[in-house]
């Protein structure tokens, strides 16, 4: 068994998310008899914070924490103003219940990382995702690139609404409904904390 020197913890570099340069989206998919008449809504996630701690000498000891303001999801599809208001209202009140649960949190440590080249990693991360006050394990796959001053991570994850007590929305007597799985994609930019 190896013993780490207490000063080794200082070897972790902290990177703070830049929401202005980052892109975070969630896409739901329609199903049912009238699926061809409906559209699969995409949402831009506008407000989020977070940081990553990366140990270049031991990347498997790295960690990440991201906090999304659940009320900041905005429909990014081209739809009428009336439809936009209704879809966003339903998402905020019925699906995410943003008044009671204003934050969605993802936390992970000790990712499985393999080096793809200098400053480039493939990561398989098993973390904890908290939605509507319920916490469940969540798998995330990401490609990570690191320079002296910046970390960039892009990838995707699939979230099952039912895992968080969310009943997928349906209309027209169930002939048009949203699938349980929501695909979240991200291209996150973080700057080295001074």
Which two tokens mark 133?
A: 């006050």
Measured CA to CA, the distance from residue 169 to residue 178 in angstroms comes to 6
Whole-number Å distance between alpha carbons of 64 and 186: 14
| Mean pLDDT of all residues in 129-149 | 95
Listed by start position, the domains of the chain span 14-192
Of 23, 59, 63, 61, nearest in space to 43 by CA: 23
| pTM for this predicted structure | 0.84
What pLDDT digit, counting tens, does each position of 8-33 carry? 445 789 999 999 999 999 998 877 54
Rounded CA gap, 110 and 55, in Å?
10
Mean pLDDT (whole number) for 144-149 = 92
Return d(Cα 69, Cα 45) in angstroms, integer.
8
Q: What is the number of alpha carbons within 13 Å of residue 184 lying toward its C-beta?
A: 19
Q: For the domain with range 14-192, which CATH number is right: 3.40.50.300, 2.102.10.10, 2.40.128.110, 2.40.128.20?
A: 2.40.128.110
Residue 37 has pLDDT above 80, yes or no: no
Integer Cα distance of 122 and 145 in angstroms: 9
């Amino acid at each position: 068994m190896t013993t780490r020197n207490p000063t080794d913890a200082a070897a972790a570099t902290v990177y703070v998310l830049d929401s202005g340069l980052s892109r975070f989206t969630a896409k739901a998919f329609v199903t049912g008899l009238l699926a061809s008449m409906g559209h699969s809504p995409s949402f831009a996630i506008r407000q989020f914070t977070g940081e990553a701690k990366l140990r270049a000498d031991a990347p498997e000891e790295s960690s990440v924490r991201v906090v999304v303001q659940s009320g900041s999801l905005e429909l990014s599809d081209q739809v009428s103003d009336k439809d936009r208001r209704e879809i966003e209202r339903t998402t905020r009140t019925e699906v995410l219940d943003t008044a009671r649960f204003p934050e969605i949190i993802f936390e992970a440590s000790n990712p499985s990382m393999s080096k793809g080249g200098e400053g480039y990693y493939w990561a398989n991360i098993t973390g904890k995702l908290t939605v509507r006050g319920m916490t469940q394990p969540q798998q995330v796959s990401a490609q990570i690139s690191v320079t002296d001053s910046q970390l960039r991570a892009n990838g995707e994850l699939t979230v099952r609404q039912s895992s968080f007590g969310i009943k997928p929305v349906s209309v027209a007597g169930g002939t048009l409904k949203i699938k349980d799985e929501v695909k979240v994609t991200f291209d996150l930019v973080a700057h080295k904390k001074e």
